[in-house]
Structure 1
Amino acid sequence: MDPHLLRSFVAVVERGSFSAAAQALGYTQSAVSQHIAALEADLGTPLLRRRPVGPTEAGERLMEHARPLLLRLEAARADLARLTRVRPARLTLACAPAALTPALADALAGLRRAAPGLAVEVRVLGRDEAVRAVLTGAADLALVTGAAAPSDPLPLPDAGPMTTRAAAEEPLAVLLPASHPLAGRPALRLTDLADARWIDAPDTAVPLAELRAAARSDGFEAQVTYGGTDLRGLGMLVAAGHGLAALAPGVAEGLAGTVAVRVSAPRLVHRTEIVHPRDPDEPVRALVAALTG
């Protein structure tokens, strides 16, 4: 399966248009059409409906494989490039919003004192995007967050040749409006909130799919979807009564009009994990040591 053809297929499905995919990829529309025809001939089945443009059943199945395959190819290229390139005195950190804490700021300050010439770039990204940034070489390490049982790792995307380490754990909490009837409780059972209104904010709070899996419930339906990485924006939506969100109590501090109540069951933690290449550069090793020491 030619990855160039596969990349064209993914672009058409994501944009819903041959012309938009061609513009994004820098091809002509005719070239993209030829790529799709060649891929369909290779696989022996139609992959796209033309009017309106969208995946067939076989195309939907292929999309389940296509993104991970393309990501692993990019990861392989970046992994090999790390063997030979000379790294500038720069550290690029991809950081989930909930991982941008005073502890991280202090660790970065210590790193810069030890290496005064080191330039640091911090990019606030959602969890999956942060992991992809490390895999593809766009970032040197990532700090990602999520909910898990105390002994389980976070459910991350296929990280390929990456190393993950736990950096911090806090109890999991539910963010409620300060006026909510349950706001004064010392703790809450997650299953008791399955039918509540929720905000799906996968780049800022715990994704609702993870809550459903943890609670083994079909509830936790989203009333509002929040695609941002600004915690204050999420806090404003919760305070206004649009829905609940799950995160760490420490993350919720300072979100006006909200209260974070600890989850008592099931037993879950809000974990921060570090993701970095197998053979990290010295600045990465130093920052990992500062965050885990």
Structure 2
Amino acid sequence: MDPHLLRTYVTVARLGSFSEAARELGYTQSAVSQHIAALEQDLGAALLTRRPVAPTPAGARLLEHAGPLLLRLDAARAEVVRMAAAPEQGLTLAATSTALTPRTVRALPVAGVTLAVLPRDEVPAAVATGAADLGLVDGLAAPSDPLRLPDVAPLGVRGLAEGPVAVLLAEDHPLARRPGLRLGDLVDARWIDAPDTGLPLARLRAASGTSGFRPAVRYDGTDLRTLTALVAAGHGLALLPRWAAEEARGTVAVPLTAPRVVHRTELLHTGTLRGPARTLAAQLDVTRS
């Protein structure tokens, strides 16, 4: 399967238009049509309906494979290019907002760092494709268990830290004076779904074995202060690392007592670490908590 044809197909399916795909890819519309026809002939299946332009069942299945396949190709290219290139003096670090603990921030070099705060699922891809030299991801896990990361490419993973988590509530919330809270008692509470800032509700459902934790508000962003402001205003609860919850104004952080889970932070990299990336990784190892 020709990856160039596959990229064209993914673009057409995403945009729902041959002409828009041609503009984005820098091809003529005729060339895009030829790419799709060649891919359909190669696979022996129709991949798109034409009016409207949408994936067929076979095309939808191909899309599920296409993303990881193309990402692995990008990752392989990036790693080979990185190995052949001269070491750079700068460093790009991709991180989730709550992976940037105070200890982690203090470990950063005083100069030469580009910090990109990204959604959780985008950090592994940024490292795999060479957009970032290192990645910091975090999430909810059982003690000593690794995080469940997207299978984007072979990545080196180092566990950096595990810490307690807390439920963040508005100061006047009825549960704000509790010494501790069990996750099972909060299944039907009002929650803020902030998958790229707070600990994702999907992980709460998995940890509790229920289908509860329905969101009252959805926040698609990575700004921790926005999430804590929503909690302070009474829009719902959030689960955060305790260090982040205790710093939020107008809120109360109540320790989560059950189930026994932790906030885990991991460092991601590709290949052998060199230069500034190796130095920072070593410094982060030293500052483990």
TM-score of the pair, normalised by structure 2: 0.91
Q: Distance in 2 between matches of 1:34 and 1:283?
A: 46
Letter in 1 for 2:142: A
Q: After TM superposition, which residue ranges in structure 1, 4 or more long, deviate above 4 angstroms?
A: none
Separation of aligned partners in 2, 1:272 and 1:145: 4
After TM superposition, the structure 1 = structure 2 runs for residues 1-293 of structure 1, keeping only pairs within 5 Å, are 1-108=1-108, 111-112=109-110, 119-293=112-286
Superposed displacement of residue 214, structure 1:
1.7
CA distance in 2, matches of 1:70, 1:50: 24
Is the CA contact 2:163–2:263 (under 8 Å) kept in the aligned structure 1?
yes
The number of residues matched between the two structures is 286
SS of 2:81's equivalent in the other structure is helix
Distance 2:119 2:163 in 1: 19
2-structure distance, mates of 1:222, 1:31? 45
Aligned-partner Cα distance in 1 for 2:179–2:151:
37
The structure-2 alpha-carbon separation of the partners of 1:4 and 1:242, relative to structure 1 and needing over 3 Å to count, comes to farther
CA distance in 1, matches of 2:236, 2:190: 5
SS across alignment from 2:147: coil
Code of the residue aligned with 1:158 in structure 2: it is D
Structure 2 CA distance for aligned equivalents of residues 174 and 101 of structure 1: 17
Q: How far 1:159 sits from its partner (Å)?
A: 4.7
Moved more, 229-238 or 249-258: 249-258
Residues 255 and 17 of structure 1: is their aligned pair in 2 closer, same or farther, counting only changes over 3 Å?
farther
Gapped runs of 5+ residues in structure 1?
Answer: 113-117
Q: Which amino acid aligns with 1:177?
A: A
What RMSD, in angstroms, separates the aligned Cα atoms of the two structures?
1.9
Using a 3 Å threshold, how does the CA distance of structure 1 residues 161 and 194 change in structure 2: closer, same or farther? same
Task: Tell me the distance in 1 between the aligned counterparts of 2:73 and 2:171.
Answer: 47
User: Matched residues in 1 for 2:70 and 2:283: separation?
Assistant: 34
SS in 2 for 1:127: coil
Equivalent-residue separation in structure 2 for 1:205 and 1:45 (angstroms) = 42
Equivalent pair of 2:165/2:256 in contact (CA under 8 Å): yes
Name the CA distance, whole Å, in 1 between partners of 2:122 and 2:261.
24
